[in-house]
Structure 1
Amino acid sequence: MSVGTVTTRARVGQYAALLAYVAFLGFPLLWLVATAFKSTQEIALGASGFLPEAPTLQNFGDAIRRADLVEAGWNSLRVAVASTILTTALAMPAAYGLARFKTFLRPVTLGWVLVSQVFPTILIIVPLFLILKQFDLVNNLVGLTIVYVVFTLPFALWMLIGFVANIPRELEEAAAVDGAGRLRILVSIVFPLLRPGVVATALFAFIAAWNEFLFALVLIQDPAKVTLPLTLSRFVGAEGQVQLGALAAASLLATIPSLIFFGLIQGRLTSGLLSGAVKG
């Protein structure tokens, strides 16, 4: 058997495995879309095919009218955007300092990052509630944003440290020899090369805040301030009865902002990767 035949078979196997993986990941989304367009009767029968026999928009209308989906989406969007901006702005200089300067704070900070990721969130929800209550931040979107920033920052910092470490020090040293100050080096050299990491960090922070449920459930009681995950939980009754059509439609609508956000920053991620290339 020739080397070319073996290579071709290996390539076919790789593409087949990749296609199977994509199908595995995409099936829940396809099922969600199909269910969102099915009528209540068709869902109740449960014997119909995968695709809706008579597509309808009734589920979308029910989801928007009954659950105040637009207001909840606006609340989630404000919290997610604010927490994303704050998390990224705080993580960038901190990651640079930890990656470039070897001080006693580095092992302490990295240890804090690791502990924060393995510590069960449910154990601190009551003390967190009591602390925020003293500062009048319970039932407040500002308080919820602060909580998201605090709990997203460790992983965002860990991500950016790796990106900063991959930027060659020689570029900064060459700029310093040419007379550039620290601020000029950061603005003109480091931050442009750090763009892919910043985009990836921003995407992580946005999705984490957009999908978060537990903190919002405990800290928000006002119906006018609930976020989208809390609104989606209303489609599940107290006895476990689920309004499956409306829930599928609402869930599908809830994914749109994340897709739009990813679409907007995807170009910046690609351009950042290209501009960050260093020729040897």
Structure 2
Amino acid sequence: MVVTRFAPSPNGPLHLGHAFSAIVAHDLAREAGGRFLLRIEDIDGPRSRPELADAFRRDLEWLGLEWDEVPAQSTRLDTYEDAARGLLERGYLYPCTCTRAEIEALEPRLGSQGTIYPGTCKGRLLDPARPAALRLDVERAMADSGELVWEDELAGRKVAYPREAGDVVIVRKDAPASYHLAATLDDAADGVTLVTRGADLLPATDIHRLLQALLGLPVPRWHHHGLLLDGSGQKLAKRRGSPSLADRREAGEDGRALAAQLRAGEFPAGITLASA
């Protein structure tokens, strides 16, 4: 059975980009007679607002989508802690107290996930009084995992190169898990067989594939779809104040008609779809 999911974070309202992503996941599951899941990723501290999760449900219903809801991330903290502890005990994680400013001051090179951490804290005595994140020792992990492959429905067979991301954060200083760890564990726990998401997250899949190997998790297929862009050529984003679905819904717009237009590739003025 094909199982897809839509997993928004309640730190801002949904916009057209979210609607397009949810529709892609919903339709791929329904066309295959499978299941479409909703998972609320609510472990972003005070930025996570419960009332937005209710708004998300109203938005999806307004678009005419049907889903099965699975437990929110805030109910799964023990799972994240257990996985991180196991990786730490096996030597795949190390604590890091570096701040973003300290890392940028070293003029690190850029990789697939942005700035590549230069490994400053690896093997270093740390101050227990300073908050520490846990980073993945990619070289050690790759030495034990060997070649990693994965399949994307649009891009075909891919070989993972996690080194291009560097030693990414697996447990944040201010949260019980990073996106990499939480999403990988959740997809396995929820039985997701087809991970649908925007093409901007394609590079993250290399890290997720490595975590699956280290944690003995099943390997799904992926579908990285194109992104909706605004008039300036930037992807729609909460932080840039892209118009929300809630505003459209409350203004009386027909959500099902909007969903049909997105399916047909008919986008509102100023909105374009970048190829995956």
TM-score (norm 1): 0.25
TM-score (norm 2): 0.25
**Hey, which of these two has a bigger chunk of helix by percent?**
1
Select the structure of larger CA radius of gyration: 1
**Hey, which of these two has a bigger chunk of strand by percent?**
2
